Amino acid sequence: MSNNILIRKIDMECALCAKNHQVEERKRITKAIIKNEEVDFEEIYYLCDNCENDENEFIPAKIMDSNLLCARNAYRKKMGLLTSSDIVGIRNKYGLTQMEMANLLGWGEATISRYESKAIQDETYDSILRLVNENPMETLKFYKRNKMKFSSLRMLEIKEKIIENLNEYGKEYLRRQELESEYVCYQDPSDYNGNQTLNIDKVESIVTYFAINISTLYKVKLMKLLWYADALNFKLYDKSMTGLVYAHMPMGALPVGHYKLLGLELINSQEEYDDNGKSSYKILPSNRIDFSILSKEELEVLSSVVKKFKAFSGQQLAEYMHREIAYQQTNEKQVIPFSLTKQLLDF
Kindly list the residues in this chain that would bind Zn ion in the complex (CB under 5 A).
14, 16-17, 48, 50
Strand-pairing partners, residue 10, are: 23
Choose between 16 and 32: whose C-beta lies nearer to Zn ion: 16
Cβ 58 to Zn ion, closest distance in Å? 9
Choose between 50 and 216: whose C-beta lies nearer to Zn ion: 50
Cβ 5 to Zn ion, closest distance in Å? 20
Choose between 19 and 288: whose C-beta lies nearer to Zn ion: 19
Cβ 9 to Zn ion, closest distance in Å? 12
CA distance 101 to 183: 34
State the DSSP code for 91. Answer: H
State the DSSP code for 168. Answer: I
Choose between 48 and 71: whose C-beta lies nearer to Zn ion: 48
Whether the CB-CB separation of 227 and 316 falls below 8 Å is answered with no
Choose between 48 and 266: whose C-beta lies nearer to Zn ion: 48
Whether the CB-CB separation of 242 and 230 falls below 8 Å is answered with yes
State the DSSP code for 30. Answer: E
Whether the CB-CB separation of 63 and 45 falls below 8 Å is answered with yes
Closest by CA to 241, choosing from 287, 290, 293, 281, is: 293
Choose between 56 and 213: whose C-beta lies nearer to Zn ion: 56
CA distance 42 to 31: 9
Whether the CB-CB separation of 44 and 63 falls below 8 Å is answered with yes
Instruction: Tell me the HSE value of 169 on the side-chain side, using a 13 A CA sphere.
Output: 7
Whether the CB-CB separation of 234 and 338 falls below 8 Å is answered with yes
Cβ 21 to Zn ion, closest distance in Å? 6
Phi-psi region of 313 (alpha: psi -120 to 50; beta: other; left: phi over 0): beta
Cβ 22 to Zn ion, closest distance in Å? 9
Cβ 81 to Zn ion, closest distance in Å? 39
Q: What is the DSSP annotation of 296-331?
A: HHHHHHHHHHHHHHTT--HHHHHHHHHTSHHHHTS-
Cβ 62 to Zn ion, closest distance in Å? 18
Choose between 50 and 295: whose C-beta lies nearer to Zn ion: 50
Cβ 99 to Zn ion, closest distance in Å? 42
Choose between 17 and 137: whose C-beta lies nearer to Zn ion: 17
